[in-house]
Structure 1
Amino acid sequence: METLTVETTHLSAYLAAGHGTSGALLTIVGVLVVALLLAAFVWGRRMRKREPGPPHPESHPRLPHGEPVGDVVERREPDELPRTDHRRTPHELKGNGIESRRRE
């Protein structure tokens, strides 16, 4: 019975020594992760400084004087569906919803 107690004591001492080592290892890993995050932040800031700034209002295109060119005014015809208990799928609808008539 005493050999079991001695082995258990040695095992406890071995495991207790491992906790201090793993704590130091976790601290080192944590410091490395923080250092990598800071380095990534600094690198990102440098990359952003190299990018061109936002465009100036003068560089945007302007509309011609008068009305905008190329506007199309449409009036869509209503497509009444009969009331049924059957649910319709998109391919069962007439024209797939893209038919329209130009307003004149």
Structure 2
Amino acid sequence: MQMAAASGLLSLGMFVVGIALLAVLGGSFWLGTRVKSREPARPRPDEQPHLPPGGAVHEIRENREPDEVPQTPEGGRPLTPYELTNMQTRTSADKKRRRWSPGSSGSFGGGGLGSH
């Protein structure tokens, strides 16, 4: 019964915790304001990016194909990875989009029936 009774010390402790919480929140607000005041100013409307003179630039969709890997002559030694250069790509003459199987984009969950 004695422990269940309300005591003034418990009320004082809760009050001190509340004051400490308000002090932490106020300090974080003050620190955030100081940090924001040191940041550069926001750009003005005339400093914003503008469209190029020719208008909007649109994406170009093209198929790329890799350069061929050099063939070693019959009886010659194979090429090491260090002897191969960075493999470049070039625009493909074929304009049709390659697919893994008809009606599918080739990705998981692409909506197709998969390879059957």
TM-score normalised over the length of structure 2: 0.45
- Tell me which structure has the larger Cα radius of gyration: 1
Which structure ranks higher in relative contact order (CA pairs < 8 Å, sequence separation ≥ 6)?
Answer: 1
TM-score normalised over the length of structure 1: 0.49
Between Structure 1 and Structure 2, which shows a larger proportion of helix residues?
1
